[in-house]
Structure 1
Amino acid sequence: MPKANVNSNHSAIWHKTVVYGIVSVMLLPILATLVYSLSSSWGATILPDGFTLDWYGQLLSDPRFLAAFGRSLLICSASLALSAILVIPAIFVVFYYFPKLDKLMNLLILLPFAVPPVVSSVGLLQLYADSAWPIVGTPWILIGTYFTIALPFMYRAIANSFSAIHLNDLMDAAHLLGASTFQAFWLIVLPNLKKGLLASLFLSFSFLLGEFVFANLLVGTRYETLQIYLYNMRQTSGHFTSALVMTYFLFVFLLTWLASRFSAKPAAISE
């Protein structure tokens, strides 16, 4: 065997060893939490005394958990629906009519990350505390805030889809066949954005579901979401809390996996 091939094989084995080692270290806390959530009791011994699903049963039968989970789903869904309704037409206008504005938009969408969440929350509290619209402590302020958080994820993913489908060519072909701009956008452009849109929605949903700072400061226990429920239950049984963490983790993992599956498939041009 040539020496170059031997060195290449050794290098590949070393790279795989490093990668697998890092992945194993990252998975250890998750596996430990999973085992603890399934154990009936785990004290001074190396292994648990027994395994049970009672903690998951208590969690899934807790009306407070179900209500908090439902509130989180409602807030995230409403925020992403608002984002999709406003962002998709805005990106279409930028890419079709004003393509030079894309660079400016890329800078503007980074603004939500430039201001720390605590600073933004304090500013929102001061702004709406004495407002004629008493939205502090209500889900409405969370929907508006989550909209700004999801905006960068939505814009970048959907903008990439617009770049991939050759928007101008599609619109020109649709106009030659007699379609109006609205018809071309609704019947041709939107179907070609489906995969990018779904990927951005799943990714944004998984991110918003774990948001805690805004939810805690702006609404707190007045509108208990999943993260606030997790924070409030931290003093209960560690097994119960571990079951809650693993349930949340598995749900977010499912959303992230769906986002990666949709983003990995190239968008096909509608015929």
Structure 2
Amino acid sequence: MSRCEYLYHQGVVWLVFLILALPLLATLLYALSTTWGATILPQGFTLRWMAQLWSDPRFMTALGHSLLICLGALIFSLVLVLPAMFVIAYYFPRLDAIMNVLILMPFAVPPVVSSVGLLQLYSDPPLMLTGTPWILIGCYFTLALPFIYRALANNMQAINMRELIDAAHLLGATTWQAALLVVLPNLRKGTFIAVLLSFSFLIGEFVLANLLVGTRYETLQVYLYNVRNESGHFSSALVISYFLVVLLITWLANVLNRERG
């Protein structure tokens, strides 16, 4: 590749990056501006909106609720999905084709429709889960399932899981010892990618959270919806803070993953 072609491709990449970053930069400027009306640039800058947001106990509570629900759903997903996937991949590989269809079912039903059914099922005894975080953890488990299953299935195929287990058998390990001590460490990268994809999707979910729990267990997206009319600057500060929280968690996860590697 000549230098001119290299510079051209580099310029295209930076142009695409700039186009994608412009809305976020504009939101950041609006969050830091005192007023921004008829002028091209803000008339002044301030940290007032950021300080007001992060000093709001309601915001901190909503952020904690979102993180707890996402973390609970992801742990629940991994605890259930990992053993099930191992059994399917090693003992019943023909079921993989059926699972590839079943895991797409959560996306076949619109969230509004599923919310109506869940409200009818879990608003009366014996399982009155409406308005509690438990119903969201269950719903988010089904939403995270396609991301986790597909990422781990690809990872299992890439590491030749059956050959690893057969090699462990030759060395005297049982099947479950091979799964825990040989296969599971090799699935770390796939698990890491699955968790990050699921987390970035779940923390931005609004429909189920608003309809099933609302302000009774207010999450970050419900909080954003409820304060949207207070101030455009305040809402922009909330959007930027939401983006920074996701970015920080992703960065920390990358650092931990690199250190363990």
CA RMSD after TM alignment: 2.4
User: Is the Cα contact below 8 Å between 1:153 and 1:200 reproduced in 2?
Assistant: yes
Determine if the alignment matches structure 1 residue 208 to structure 2 residue 202.
yes
User: Is the Cα contact below 8 Å between 1:233 and 1:241 reproduced in 2?
Assistant: yes
Residue 143 of structure 2 corresponds to 149
Residue 188 of structure 1 corresponds to 182
Name the aligned partner's letter for residue 194 of structure 1: R
Give the aligned length.
260
Give secondary structure in 1 for the equivalent of 2:81. helix
Residue 112 of structure 1 corresponds to 106
Structure-2-length-normalised TM-score: 0.91
Residue 67 of structure 2 corresponds to 73
Q: Deviation at 1:260?
A: 8.5
Q: Residues 233 and 53 (structure 1 numbering): CA distance in 2 closer, same or farther, change over 3 Å? A: same
Q: Deviation at 1:189?
A: 1.1
Q: Deviation at 1:62?
A: 1.0
Structure-1-length-normalised TM-score: 0.87
Give secondary structure in 2 for the equivalent of 1:50. coil
1:251-266 counterparts in 2 under 5 A? 251-255=245-249
Residue 99 of structure 1 corresponds to 93
Distance in 1 of aligned mates of 2:193 and 2:132: 29
Residue 225 of structure 1 corresponds to 219
Q: Name segments (4+ residues, structure 1) moved above 3 Å.
A: 12-23, 253-263
Distance in 2 of aligned mates of 1:70 and 1:189: 34
Q: Deviations over 1:133-173 (max 9, x none)?
A: 11011111000000000000000111111111111111111
Residue 243 of structure 2 corresponds to 249
Distance in 1 of aligned mates of 2:255 and 2:147: 16
User: Is the Cα contact below 8 Å between 1:136 and 1:218 reproduced in 2?
Assistant: yes
Q: Residues 259 and 159 (structure 1 numbering): CA distance in 2 closer, same or farther, change over 3 Å? A: farther
Give secondary structure in 2 for the equivalent of 1:250. helix
Match of 2:21 among 27, 36, 43: 27
Residue 228 of structure 2 corresponds to 234
Residue 159 of structure 1 corresponds to 153
Give secondary structure in 2 for the equivalent of 1:75. helix
Q: Deviations over 1:179-204 (max 9, x none)?
A: 11221111111111111111111111
Q: Residues 261 and 15 (structure 1 numbering): CA distance in 2 closer, same or farther, change over 3 Å? A: farther
User: Is the Cα contact below 8 Å between 1:195 and 1:262 reproduced in 2?
Assistant: no
Name stretches of at least 5 consecutive residues in structure 2 with no aligned partner. Answer: none
